[in-house]
């Protein structure tokens, strides 16, 4: 974290372990395609594709943070002065928030492998986004950080 950063909350939405196993399916797929050409080409392509997929999953995992008076989710950020009272949802309620109850104008930072979500209302009258929906493994901590940082 850069010097001078006042981070109250920070979470990276790392992929679940099963995602790394699912990505391993590129290995037999690439072998199936390249083994008839060359065994060496098949193995090299399989390893490069798997390594690249793992790197992409890891490097592209978004970060949620509450720091320096802002809520950050991936590349987006909003001043805490412009957010309302956040709410946490788990299980079936979280599924509804990500689906049937979702406003098409909402800003999303969700990952399918993280069940709980927090909805954060945006109170800025100039912003067309009514609220953010954020996947988080620790919704209570995120809400506490938002509420605590606004005081």
Q: How far is CA 117 from CA 10, 29, 82, 110, 120, in A?
A: 15, 34, 20, 8, 10
Residue 145, phi then psi, degrees to nearest 5: -70, -40
Tell me if 149 sits within 8 A of 69, measured CB to CB.
yes
Residue 2: is its pLDDT beyond 80?
Answer: no
Is the CB of residue 137 less than 8 Å from the CB of residue 14?
Answer: no
Residue 3 — pLDDT band, cuts 50, 70, 90?
very low
Average pLDDT over residues 70-84: 95
Residue 108's DSSP bridge partners are 133
Q: What is the pLDDT of residues 4-33, one digit of tens each?
A: 456 789 999 999 999 999 999 999 999 999
- Among residues 39, 121, 117, which one has the least CA distance to residue 78? 121
Mean pLDDT, the chain, rounded, equals 92
């Amino acid at each position: 974290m850069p010097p001078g950063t006042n981070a109250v909350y920070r979470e990276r939405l790392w992929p679940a372990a099963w995602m790394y196993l699912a990505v391993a399916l590129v290995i037999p797929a690439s072998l199936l395609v390249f083994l008839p050409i060359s065994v060496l080409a098949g193995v090299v392509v399989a390893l490069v594709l798997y390594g690249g997929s793992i790197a992409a999953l890891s490097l592209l995992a978004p970060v949620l943070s509450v720091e320096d008076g802002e809520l950050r989710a991936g590349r987006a950020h909003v001043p805490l002065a412009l957010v309302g009272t956040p709410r946490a949802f788990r299980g079936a309620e979280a599924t509804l928030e990500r689906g049937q109850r979702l406003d098409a104008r909402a800003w999303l930072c969700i990952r399918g492998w993280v069940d709980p979500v927090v909805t954060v209302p945006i109170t800025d009258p100039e912003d067309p986004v009514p609220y953010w929906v954020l996947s988080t493994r620790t919704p209570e901590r995120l809400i506490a950080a938002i509420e605590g940082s606004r005081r």
